[in-house]
Structure 1
Amino acid sequence: MAAAVSSTLPRLVPVAAGIGLREPHREAFVAAGSPVPWVEIHPENYLVPGGPRLAGILRVRRDRPVSCHGVGLSLGSAGGLDPDHLMRLRALYDRLEPGLISEHLSWSVTDATYLNDLLPLPYTEDSLDRVRRNVDHAQDVFGRRILVENPAACIAFADSTIPEAEFLAELAARTGCGLLLDVNNLYVSSVNLGFDRSAWLDAIPADAVGELHLAGHARMTIGGEELLVDDHGSAVGEAVMALYADVLDRIGPRPVLIEWDNDLPPLDGLLDEAGRAQRLLDATMQKQRVPEAHCAG
């Protein structure tokens, strides 16, 4: 049964390009005024109830919407969600009032052991029911909808019985959750696994997509085979930008975020990437004559 969730928030995320705000950039970002209309953070970096780090992000929140992109909830865990982690997230969200909340379609906890990675899961009915229960639980605790992000994959499970896009679509239908469409992850997975990106996009319910992500990826050779790795360590590639333009044409404008976590450039480099994304977004909005809009989780 889908959770009862709220979409009324005091500061909504605009349909515009934002950046993932990392601590090394925070002071420069505040000093620069309002270089982008919204930012996204990893909430796990702000779970301590006090101190300069939390005070800093609350200062950012006074001037613009903040989105929270979780990395530790472990929606795919068979044992359910960690209650302590869940309540610490809720305490932060109650204080920060993020415009959007998102989590990964992955698992990272087993038998009370936390694994510092976002691990894949097979796409089966059992997995779907497990993730459904966990998403419902999270939405009940938070009192609002969350977005679930498509992963970047290097392998496919032999026992998967449901295509990824259909898995996500069914999850959204059963829980009322939204989807975070990571364009770079879609590109990386499609190249590594050889599936049709167009068919994947056709299977995704456009009205469930609440946010887009863009990031850079790396190429690695493993066992003589070249693979793409979603490393968030470089500018967005041209092929990913082209796919982003196609996504905008298909589903319409959405809030879009630049993720850059490794080998961080100066803040201006990140803002330049947001400018690239914004120009394509502006062109789509002009072409489709879309008025200014906002999105809420």
Structure 2
Amino acid sequence: MPAGVPGNAAAVTSMPAKAGVGLKPPHYRQILEQRPPVGWFEVHAENYLGAGGPPHAALTAIREHYPLSIHGVGLSIGGAQPPDRTHLRRLRALLDRYQPALFSEHLAWSSHGGRFLNDLLPLPYTEKTLAHVAAQVSGVQEALGRPILIENPSTYVRFHDETLSEPVFLAELAARSGCGLLLDLNNVYVSAANHDFDPVAYLAAFPLEAAEEVHLAGHATSADDLGRPLLIDAHDREVAAPVWALFRALLARAGPLPTLIEWDSRVPTWECLQAEAARAQALLDVAGDRRHGGH
């Protein structure tokens, strides 16, 4: 077992098809004292790349009792240059330390020429882009020593030269690289509203056989320069009703999957976050009963 892995890590490495939540520092103490009945926790990798300190102490203690997913935001897998080797080494050390059940990153780019941007920027869905991203993903998986999940993005612009739909692009990416997929349903709804396509049709075309994790989150409503509605993937409020509807449609097709409540800014009380997870868990339980012939 790698140094720093919790003693009972082998017992909690598999990710259950249950509702999890993003782990936030304001909730550390309450989680450790109460051991709430959530399925798992997810953390952003870049918040734990240091060697020690209070965040690692809390994460190590929580990891003793819950499965863990690690979600990266800094690899810039869609960028023109390969992911930074130092970042990859630090990320590999973090994954070896905590042995998460899943590691995921975004179908996006966020750096160029050694400069890092505070955003996850979109890619044109073309054969050229697909070949490049598949090679990048394969290289990352080799460096990390494990398969990874790639998340569908929320987008606010489209490219004129696109030749592939996003579901087809993701299906081909999974087939060529061997990666899994993270299906963010809020991103689907946000992009569908911004680009005027049917989110239910998107879901019907999505390669669910490669999906290993689901994200649910809240979004904000704004307007573009022409006054048209514009949705923003804000992660700062409850999951919206149409996203819950997409989740029910997904469960009817795919059955239960590990499902995260993402709430990253304007972090609520633990009770509020746990209530969102409980709502997701109730839907997962119903889907599980139907899969097993229940009523």
- So what's the TM-score if we normalise by structure 2? 0.93
Shift of 1:156: 1.0
Structure 2 unaligned blocks of 5 or more:
1-9
Question: What pairs with 1:149-168 in structure 2 (closer than 5 Å)?
Answer: 149-168=151-170
**1:213 maps to which of 206, 212, 215:** 215
Question: What pairs with 1:4-43 in structure 2 (closer than 5 Å)?
Answer: 11-43=13-45
Whole-angstrom CA distance in 2 between matches of 1:262 and 1:222: 22
Letter in 2 for 1:212: V
Letter in 1 for 2:91: L
Question: Root-mean-square deviation (CA), in Å?
Answer: 1.5
Partner of 1:233: 236
- So what's the TM-score if we normalise by structure 1? 0.92
Whole-angstrom CA distance in 2 between matches of 1:172 and 1:44: 24
Whole-angstrom CA distance in 1 between matches of 2:206 and 2:175: 11
Shift of 1:10: 5.8
**1:91 maps to which of 90, 93, 98:** 93
- Alpha carbons 1:9, 1:97 under 8 Å: kept: no
With over 3 angstroms needed to count, the CA separation of the structure-2 counterparts of 1:290 and 1:74, relative to structure 1, is: farther
Q: 1:116-165: CA deviations, max 9, x gaps?
A: 11111111112111111111011111111101000011221112111111
Partner of 2:73: 71
What percent identity do the matched residue pairs reach? 49
Ranked by relative contact order (alpha carbons within 8 Å, sequence separation 6 or more), the top structure is: 1
Whole-angstrom CA distance in 1 between matches of 2:12 and 2:62: 15
Partner of 1:3: none
Shift of 1:197: 2.2
Shift of 1:252: 1.8
Structure 1 unaligned blocks of 5 or more:
1-7, 292-297
In the alignment, structure 1 residue 147 sits paired with structure 2 residue 149:
yes
Shift of 1:244: 0.4
With over 3 angstroms needed to count, the CA separation of the structure-2 counterparts of 1:290 and 1:9, relative to structure 1, is: farther
**1:117 maps to which of 110, 116, 119:** 119
- Alpha carbons 1:77, 1:130 under 8 Å: kept: no
Shift of 1:202: 2.6
* Equivalenced residues, count: 284
Letter in 2 for 1:193: H
Partner of 1:247: 250
Partner of 1:199: 201
Shift of 1:275: 0.5
Whole-angstrom CA distance in 1 between matches of 2:245 and 2:39: 23
- Alpha carbons 2:167, 2:207 under 8 Å: kept: no
Whole-angstrom CA distance in 2 between matches of 1:202 and 1:170: 16
- Alpha carbons 1:169, 1:203 under 8 Å: kept: no
